[in-house]
Structure formats: C-alpha cells, structure tokens
Amino acid sequence: MSPKKSPRKRAKIATIDSVAVFEKILKNADAIQHYQLRLYITGTTPRSSHAIANIRALCDEFLPGHYDLEVIDIYQQPTEAAREQIIAAPTLVKELPIPAKRLIGDLSDRDKVMVGLSLVNNKAAKKTQWVKM
C-alpha cells in the first residue's frame, strides 16, 4: 500500500503547478499584448482620412483582435485634445503596451509606425523620434 500524500504536500504541488502556468503566461505575454491606441484628427480632411485608413490597415494586418482604436475629432471634442495636450493633428497616441508614445502625421510611413508600436525592431528605430510620456 502506498503512503497517502498529506494535504500540505498536495497544496505544495498545486502551488508549483500554478506557478509554472503563470510563468508560461508571462513568457508568452509579448505575443498576446493588447494595444490601446487613440488617433486625434481634425474633421474630415484628407490628412485625417489617410491617417485613419493607414492605422486601421496596419492594425488589421499585424494586430487583428489585439487592439482598440479610438478616433477623436478635436473639433468635436476640444477638451479631450486639451487634456492630452495635443498640439498637432493627426496624432497617434499609443497608451498600451507601455511605454506610451506619440506620432504626428498621416502615418503613411509604415516602417516608422511599426517601430513605434514595437511590432518590429530595425534600423528605422534610430531614425524615428518618439516622445516618451
């Protein structure tokens, strides 16, 4: 007859298993990060329309199901723009994953946007100037 495990030993084994699962989740955290983005625009100008189309296309291609994109018209919500200290539009604000970053323009340079969103690391990173928040 084999000796029965005490409740303490069973609890310890369960703890070890849950720690292993947690460590596995942390190890894969980069692969499942969720992006929270805000795009500040000025009405229905061509630059605003291009910025919306560019960021949506990029997110749909590289972050399907892993991003929230909020488009804020600073003409309609000036207090929101003032609160975030938006001084130019279009401006993309990446809140999550940290660090928070901003990019001003119509987002047509996909390489720079991808570097800013930490989707790739390449030589363009040295050329791209991001502002830490």
Return the residue matching tokens 């199901």. Answer: 65
- So what's the pLDDT on residue 93? 94
* Predicted pLDDT of residue 36: 94
pLDDT at 71: 95
How high is the pLDDT of residue 55?
94
CA–CA distance, 45 with 56 (Å, rounded to integer) = 17
Residue 1 CB-half CA count within 13 A: 3
- Cα–Cα distance measured from residue 4 to residue 128, given in angstroms and rounded to the nearest whole number: 63
Q: For residue 81, what are the contacts with CB-CB under 8 A and spacing of at least 6?
A: 40, 72, 74, 89
- pTM above 0.85? no
Q: How many helices (H) and strands (E) does the chain have?
A: 5, 4
Tell me the residue length of the chain.
133
Distances in whole angstroms, Cα of residue 85 to Cα of each of 19, 80, 88, 133: 42, 8, 9, 11
Helix H or strand E segment including 96: strand 91-96
pLDDT at 124: 44
Domain 33-127 part of CATH 3.40.30.10: yes
- Antiparallel, parallel or unpaired: β 35-41 and 67-73: parallel
Q: Alpha-carbon torsion 51, 61, 103, 93, what sign? A: positive
Give me the tens of pLDDT residue by residue for the chain, a chain 133 residues long: 555 656 555 555 545 566 776 565 555 555 558 899 999 999 999 999 999 999 999 999 888 888 999 999 999 999 998 999 999 899 999 998 888 899 998 898 888 888 888 877 655 445 555 566 5
pLDDT at 49: 93
